[in-house]
Structure 1
């Protein structure tokens, strides 16, 4: 079934006159899937963005998340992995509802920059990359391309109709919007750690 994910979490939609396409902006903690000819846009700092695509039926989607910065204790590491699994499972479920088949899925992965942030441990970016690799391996989803880690945030344009990705590394930020959004998201995750078991952004 073509269309957009019913009740998709990402709600920031607009028309991009330069690309000549409807666009959906994916913010921290959000995901979106579509079978329509539109572009999914995200700006990734410390967060990671996973683009999944079924090229046969041209259904694809993107998420934008970060593992809770729990340190290395076993219980906390398990909770962090649970949050990452939820973010990935939500995107998969959205794709299945639009007709994607698991055995045809392929992945493109971006982000997880090593940005200086007092609220994140030094290995936070590496941990989320390792989690995504492990998740894709366990699900048997091939990783087609990735651009992760490093010192610069990235702006991603993902075109599910073709599988094309445009990437721009942001060597200078013109405003603090990206940093503010990720700071608010990190604080949300840390508050959720204190409160205990949770389903982040579950509808």
Structure 2
């Protein structure tokens, strides 16, 4: 293999600094895409102003990709509405307002960070992914569907522009988002073990069900 071919797998420029407050996010050079990337897990979000790609894997969780279409600043979140264990066994959701607080927090916090970094609300565009029914055991409580309904209602309430989505279905998704251009690559993970993704989301659910909400966040004008 020649040197010119090898160098396409090496960084061609220095990694941009992490935005303030995001030093904990896993950031790395993605050889396949030839770009610096930030990988987010359930309960995390990230914004980019320097041409980074944002990556996540979704089961029943939702990721919203939000950006200012003129300035190229944007980000992605990854949230799942929390469900109390005893109510899952009864086949019903309770404390829906408590669940919506977490989804609402994830959406509003992401939008606020985009606006803080130069975006304008009137220029925001949104793409939504996830909300799958990844296991048969979720038939009684379709958390993915509730997540989809929530994010659609949030977008409508905030008068945001939803320009694309890939939601529902039976398979997990890997999502690659490029905030500077708005491009998204989605791959259905038909060969991955669904229980791995499901257990990852269940672990996150157990954590957030034991922690208090972080308070309300209002959108900037």
- TM-score normalised by the shorter chain: which range applies? 0.7 to 0.9
Could you tell me which residue of structure 2 aligns to residue 199 of structure 1? Answer: 214
Gaps of 5+ in 2: 1-15, 85-91
- Find out whether 1:139 has 2:158 as its counterpart: yes
- 2:59 corresponding residue in structure 1: 45
Map Cα deviations across residues 9-30 of structure 1 (whole Å, 9 max, x no partner). Answer: 7611100112111000011000
Distance 1:50 1:152 in 2: 18
3-state DSSP of counterpart to 2:65 = strand
Measure how far apart 1:56 and its partner are: 0.3
Pairing of 1:51-200 with structure 2 (within 5 A): 51-70=65-84, 71-73=92-94, 76-116=95-135, 118=137, 122-173=141-192, 178-192=197-211, 197-199=212-214
User: Could you list the per-position Cα deviations for residues 82-130 of structure 1 after superposition, in whole angstroms to 9, with x for gaps in the alignment?
Assistant: 1111111110111112101001001000011102275895221111101
Q: Secondary structure at the match of 1:146?
A: strand
The SS at the match of 1:65 is coil
Q: How many residues align?
A: 194
User: How far apart, in 2, do the equivalents of 1:123 and 1:9 lie?
Assistant: 34
| Change beyond 3 A, Cα 1:177–1:116 | closer
- Unmatched segments (≥5 aa) in structure 1: none
Between the aligned partners of 2:179 and 2:198, the Cα distance in structure 1 is 27
Deviates more, 1:171-180 or 1:18-27: 171-180
2:4 pairs with 1:14: no
CA distance in 2, matches of 1:81, 1:122: 16
User: How far, CA to CA, are the matches of 2:107 and 2:162 in structure 1?
Assistant: 14
Instruction: Tell me the TM-score normalised to structure 2 length.
Output: 0.80
Once the two structures are TM-superposed, the CA of residue 4 in structure 1 deviates from its matched residue by 4.8
CA RMSD of aligned residues (A): 2.4
Q: Please, what TM-score do these two structures have when normalized by structure 1?
A: 0.86
